[in-house]
């Protein structure tokens, strides 16, 4: 479900509603969700700071770091009253000081929450965040030079650059006029692709993310960016640039949407 813009939207809301507050008690309703690496517990700890790397949410607690990945259907929701019974899909409950409650809801049970000593070292294998200022034009160009993968597979891999998923890869490649199977090395204008990626992600953040079915922000609201897609989910409809019919095909293991005219095969 959530890619960088959806995760960033949630992170900004958590900075508002969770940062600086104490977790009085955590309750696990589905044991697989919570992966406790070092065996300690979070009860009584304060959330000192909140960060993000790619699609990972980082909670810096007093003594440990918590890493949250929503995967396909995970949601973090402020639900208010503690008296109400848990929702069918609630996997983890955080009772916060002051009486409010933060719930991790996840229909498909793919989401994971890790308690680790240091988040940053734990995520060292994840590529640089797409919006990191160090993702300069020359750095991005070098990443493309070093990979022999197709561009869609590379951007989805989270190696080198992290945060893009199936929606925003398809949208960015369309706007850059690049066929999804183009080899990274063969991309003529990496600078332009990087610029397009930044534009696609920041516009989606401005629109509070994209909701296809499951994504909600921490208040349970849908995003708005799904109303502005060029290709994602638009198979069979005319291209907004040239009028050709948008095609959906399986590429890099995922449903892939593109315009055969605007994104010719290399």
Partner DNA sequence: CCAGCCCCCTGTCGGC
Partner DNA sequence: TGCCGACAGGGGGCTG
Q: Is the CB of 15 or the CB of 248 nearer to DNA?
A: 248
Secondary structure of 198-252 in the HEC alphabet? HHHHHHHHHCCCCCCCCCCCCCCCCCCHHHHCCCCCCCCCECCCCCCECEEEEEC
Is 91 among the residues known to form the active site? Answer: no
Residue of 3, 6, 8, 13 marked catalytic: 3
Is 203 among the residues known to form the active site? Answer: no
Q: Is the CB of 44 or the CB of 213 nearer to DNA?
A: 213
Of 24, 254, 260, 261, which lies in the binding site for DNA, with binding defined by CB under 7 A? 254
Binding mask 205-244 for DNA (x = CB under 7 A): -----xxxxxx-----------------------------
Is residue 63 within 8 Å of residue 46, measured between CB atoms? no
Of 193, 252, 259, 262, which lies in the binding site for DNA, with binding defined by CB under 7 A? 252
The CA–CA distances, whole Å, from 115 to 72, 138, 194, 237, 258 equal: 20, 35, 33, 45, 39
Rounded to the nearest whole angstrom, what is the least distance from the CB of residue 143 to DNA in the complex? Answer: 11
Q: Per the structure block, which two tokens stand in for 248?
A: 């959906």
Q: Is the CB of 12 or the CB of 69 nearer to DNA?
A: 69
Q: List the 56-61 sheet strands across, edge first.
A: 34-36, 112-116, 65-69, 56-61, 47-53
Q: With binding defined as CB under 7 A, does residue 57 bind DNA?
A: no
Is 53 among the residues known to form the active site? Answer: no
Residue of 53, 55, 216, 234 marked catalytic: 55
CA angle 82, 84, 88 (to 5 degrees): 115
Of 127, 150, 180, 190, which lies in the binding site for DNA, with binding defined by CB under 7 A? 150
Rounded to the nearest whole angstrom, what is the least distance from the CB of residue 238 to DNA in the complex? Answer: 20
What is the pairing mode between strands 23-28 and 90-96? antiparallel
Residue for token pair 């869609």: 152
List Cβ neighbours of 201 (8 Å cut-off, separation of 6 or more): 4, 5, 130, 131, 163, 164, 168
Q: Is the CB of 125 or the CB of 134 nearer to DNA?
A: 125
Residue for token pair 């502005």: 228
Of 40, 108, 188, 219, which lies in the binding site for DNA, with binding defined by CB under 7 A? 108
Q: With binding defined as CB under 7 A, does residue 149 bind DNA?
A: yes
| Range 35-54, binding DNA (CB under 7 A) | 54
- CA 4 – CA 81 distance, rounded (Å): 30
Is 86 among the residues known to form the active site? Answer: no
For DNA, which stretch binds (CB under 7 A), given 10-18, 20-28, 77-85, 204-212? 204-212
Is residue 53 within 8 Å of residue 11, measured between CB atoms? no
Interface residue list for DNA (CB under 7 A): 1-3, 6, 32, 54-55, 69, 71-72, 88-89, 107-110, 147-150, 153, 156, 158, 165-167, 210-215, 251-255
Which active-site residues does the annotation give? 2-3, 55, 254
């Amino acid at each position: 479900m959530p890619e960088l813009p959806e995760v960033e939207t949630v992170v900004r809301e958590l900075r508002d509603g969770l940062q600086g507050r104490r977790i009085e008690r955590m309750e696990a309703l589905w044991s697989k969700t919570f992966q406790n690496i070092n065996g300690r517990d979070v009860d009584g700890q304060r959330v000192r700071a909140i960060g993000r790397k790619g699609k990972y949410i980082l909670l810096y607690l007093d003594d440990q770091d918590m890493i949250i990945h929503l995967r396909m259907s995970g949601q973090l929701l402020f639900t208010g009253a503690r008296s109400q019974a848990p929702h069918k899909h609630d996997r983890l409950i955080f009772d916060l000081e002051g009486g409010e409650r933060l719930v991790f809801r996840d229909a498909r049970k793919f989401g994971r929450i890790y308690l680790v000593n240091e988040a940053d070292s734990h995520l060292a294998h994840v590529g640089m965040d797409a919006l990191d200022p160090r993702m300069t034009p020359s750095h991005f160009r070098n990443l493309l030079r070093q990979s022999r993968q197709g561009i869609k597979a590379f951007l989805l891999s989270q190696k080198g650059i992290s945060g893009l998923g199936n929606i925003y890869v398809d949208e960015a490649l369309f706007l850059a006029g690049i066929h999804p199977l183009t080899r990274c090395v063969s991309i003529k204008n990496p600078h332009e692709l990087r610029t397009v990626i930044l534009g696609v992600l920041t516009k989606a953040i401005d629109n509070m993310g994209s909701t296809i079915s499951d994504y909600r922000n921490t208040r349970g609201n849908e995003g708005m960016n799904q109303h502005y897609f060029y290709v994602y989910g638009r198979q069979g409809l005319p291209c907004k640039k040239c009028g050709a019919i948008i095609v959906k095909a399986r590429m890099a293991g995922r449903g892939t949407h593109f315009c055969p005219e605007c994104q010719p095969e290399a």
